[in-house]
Amino acid sequence: MCKTFQAAELRAQVTAVLVACGSSPEEAETVAANLVLANLSGHDSHGVGMLPRYVDAVLEGGLKPNHSVQLVLDTGSLLTLDGQRGYGQIVGEQAMALGISRAKTHGSCIMTLANAHHLGRIGHFAEMAVAQGLVSLHFVNVLSRPVVAPFGGADGRYGTNPCCIGVPLKGREPFVLDFATSRMAQGKMRVAHNEGRRVEPGMLIDEHGQPSTDPGVVVVPQSNGLFGALLAFGEHKGYGLAVACELLGGALTGGGTWHQSCNPDVRAVVNGMLTILIDPVRLGAQAAFEQEAQAFIDWLTAGPVAPGFDAVQIAGGPECTYRKQRLADGIAVDAQTWQEMVAAGHKVGVTLPN
């Protein structure tokens, strides 16, 4: 049984828990709005279901409320930033605001962000950039429990390492390609497990390295105390992109890569992100860029529609559709996730409706 909430109601409840957890009202409202926006966009994996983990991370000391991004190095169009373990929704937006300003001034900006707590849906940052007419590229690594097996490997060795590309399209919704390099995001496995669903074959291996369709193998410890692992999308190709994200988002940013034993009880999720921002206006390509991008998207969408689809799909389109639907109909939260959120509220003295 699911509970359904209007977006404003859900934001208020999450905000109350975050304030009780030590955040200023302004910070809590921003983080809550970001989480609810993920739900509205159809990405429940990055939505309010993350609240229990955030509360635990604050209580254990791995997530630090009211911390801002720190400028470490500034050469104009190159920025080195440290998130100081602050909320990723906060330090990520602060970093993007700096990067967007520099790209507008210099035509481009290359920016590294290390030590940010969970950045959430990376597409949010691409949407910030495309709203200002900029192209953006993001490569992210994840320092938490390693949940993805390398190609040819039989246990988890790295994180879901998302990649995101945003491109503004004149007169239409932007192209925002945002995906985990695993076949499915870890958060989507948590949602499937909470809802009691199996997943399609080819997504997972169990703690013995054998194929599985049970999302619980990567959500809760198995009988031997070990976890299973997600598989990379596209076999060696997705795996290669995941490694690139680890090297660019982790090694190049200075935030670090995963190469250590894991304590599964640690709840903090730490991200590093390399961001590249390009202003087509300053590149001198604005007119041709707009014309060719529009022509190509028109060419794609004018083609025949495959059985089972209403239209040819373009990255970013499903999120827009979800937002319209869920703003009107509300956001459904499964019973298990809601009970986890209620329990998180109790830890900090907030009673959510049961």
CB 117 within 8 A of CB 83: yes
CB 266 within 8 A of CB 118: no
Side by side, the strands of the sheet bearing 78-82 are 70-74, 78-82, 108-117, 270-278, 135-143, 163-167, 175-179
Domains and CATH numbers, the chain: 1-66+317-354 (1.10.1530.10), 67-182+233-282 (3.30.1370.60), 197-231 (no CATH)
The C-alpha atoms of residue 18 and residue 269 are separated, in whole angstroms, by 17
Instruction: Give the pLDDT confidence score for residue 8 in this predicted structure.
Output: 95
**In sequence order, what are the beta bridge partners of 274?**
112, 139
E strands, 183-269, are 204-205, 211-212, 229-230
Instruction: Give the pLDDT confidence score for residue 261 in this predicted structure.
Output: 73
Q: Is the dihedral of CA 233, 238, 241, 242 positive or negative?
A: positive
User: Which SS3 state, helix, strand or coil, does residue 93 take?
Assistant: helix
Q: Which among 197, 190, 195 has a CA at the least distance from the CA of 219?
A: 190
281 Cβ contact list (under 8 Å, min separation 6) = 133
Tens-level pLDDT at each residue, the chain (354 residues): 788 999 999 999 999 999 999 999 999 999 999 999 999 999 988 999 999 999 999 999 999 999 999 999 999 999 999 999 999 999 999 999 999 999 999 999 999 999 999 999 999 999 999 999 999 999 999 998 899 999 999 999 999 999 999 999 998 899 999 999 999 888 788 888 888 899 999 999 989 989 999 998 988 888 777 888 999 999 999 999 999 999 999 999 999 999 977 676 788 999 999 999 999 999 998 999 999 999 999 999 999 999 999 999 999 999 999 999 999 999 999 988 999 999 999 999 999 988
Burial (CB count within 10 angstroms: exposed 0-12, middle 13-18, buried 19+), residue 161 = buried
161 Cβ contact list (under 8 Å, min separation 6) = 140, 141, 142, 148, 180, 181, 182, 241, 242, 245, 246, 249
Instruction: Give the pLDDT confidence score for residue 225 in this predicted structure.
Output: 78
Could you give the angle at which helices 7-20 and 25-40 cross, rounded to 10 degrees? Answer: 140
pTM above 0.85, yes or no: yes
CB 269 within 8 A of CB 116: no
The C-alpha atoms of residue 50 and residue 187 are separated, in whole angstroms, by 8
